[in-house]
Structure 1
Amino acid sequence: MGETGRLIGQVELKFDGNVFYEMFRYRTDDISDMSPDKMREIALHDGKWGTVGSHVVWRFTLDGKEKVSKEVIEAIDEENKTITYKAVEGDLLELYKIFKFIIHVDTKGGNNMVRVTLEYEKLSKDIPDPNSLMDFCLNVVKDVEACYV
């Protein structure tokens, strides 16, 4: 069994977190327009936007290299504004046996925060933690924010 890990990062939003959550859940493909230097395309492969079991294909540029990840929406917690994606095909699975992206939007207490959690199991202990991917995700959140403020 490979080494498991979890990275957590967050960005405080300067606009309504509910708007971010709704956009991320139901209009995910808009992110590629808001962060075009990072996200080449986000396409629905199977299912319906914002529903568990749907497959989304992400084409992005990470560390100067074109990458692709096909992911299934594994869980949605509407009350806590959390969406979990699990990689089922693509470049991430060349390094990781399991890879999940969890997006949580916290709108409690007057603050609006987006927390990104990456959960993974490496194929071997020599594989680095996905720190650059975390930075990438947080920068995409900031790009989206810039379109709203």
Structure 2
Amino acid sequence: MSLAGKISSEIGVHATAAKWFNLFATKLHHVQNLSDRIHGTKLHRGQDWHHSESIKHWTYTIDGKVTTCQESIESVDEANKTIIYKLFDGDIDHQFKLFKFVFQAIDKNSGGAIIKWTVEYERLSEEVDPPYGYIEYLHKCTRDIDGHLLKA
């Protein structure tokens, strides 16, 4: 059994792909105020929340457990409205050798957008379950955030 894998989820949302991408590309620090599942985040290292060398510290709830990690932006593709985040330290390093979130906002012809989340991971051992709880977490946070983006 492979220790590496990918899990993806696509969620239809009402706000436009441009609004979603703008939030995650230029206002990431606001996300903590848009979902109760995120308890807080702070800039751990760096001057700018969106610089690839900056590191943020996150506290959130996964599978009913308060969890922490650090995150940095690996890449931003404006043309495809895609951002790759690398998660590490904290609770992540106890279970995973590699852990990334891939965010993509895709316009729908009928209005609104599709938010595609992919979790790329490599588990430390077969005893570690695949991170299905993270897909559920991202799905629920997406629903919470969509309501706020519609008001903006």
TM-score (structure 1 length as normaliser): 0.91
**Conserved in 2, the CA contact under 8 Å of 1:28 and 1:42?**
no
What are structure 1's unaligned runs of at least 5 residues? none
Q: Deviations over 1:102-142 (max 9, x none)?
A: 11111264551110000000000121111111100111011
- 2: CA distance between counterparts of 1:105 and 1:122? 27
What is the one-letter code of the residue matched to 1:130? P
Residue 96 of structure 2 is matched in structure 1 by 96
Residue 139 of structure 1 is matched in structure 2 by 140
Correspondence 1:43-58 to 2 at 5 A: 43-47=42-46, 48-58=48-58
Aligned length in residues: 147
Q: CA distance change for structure 1 residues 108 and 54 in 2, over 3 Å: closer, same or farther?
A: farther
**Conserved in 1, the CA contact under 8 Å of 2:19 and 2:149?**
no
Correspondence 1:108-119 to 2 at 5 A: 109=109, 110-119=111-120
Say which SS state the counterpart of residue 29 (structure 2) adopts. Answer: helix
Higher mean alpha-carbon deviation, 128-137 vs 101-110, is at 101-110
Q: Deviations over 1:17-45 (max 9, x none)?
A: 11111111211121111102x00012222
Correspondence 1:1-149 to 2 at 5 A: 3-36=3-36, 38-47=37-46, 48-107=48-107, 109=109, 110-149=111-150
State the percentage of identical aligned residues. 27
Say which SS state the counterpart of residue 90 (structure 1) adopts. Answer: coil
Say which SS state the counterpart of residue 25 (structure 2) adopts. Answer: helix
What is the one-letter code of the residue matched to 1:144? I
- 1: CA distance between counterparts of 2:146 and 2:34? 9
Deviation at 1:15, TM superposition (A): 1.4
What are structure 2's unaligned runs of at least 5 residues? none
**Conserved in 1, the CA contact under 8 Å of 2:85 and 2:100?**
yes
TM-score (structure 2 length as normaliser): 0.89
- 2: CA distance between counterparts of 1:85 and 1:100? 5
Alignment RMSD, CA only? 1.5
- Off by >4 Å, runs of 4+ in structure 1: none
**Conserved in 2, the CA contact under 8 Å of 1:25 and 1:49?**
no
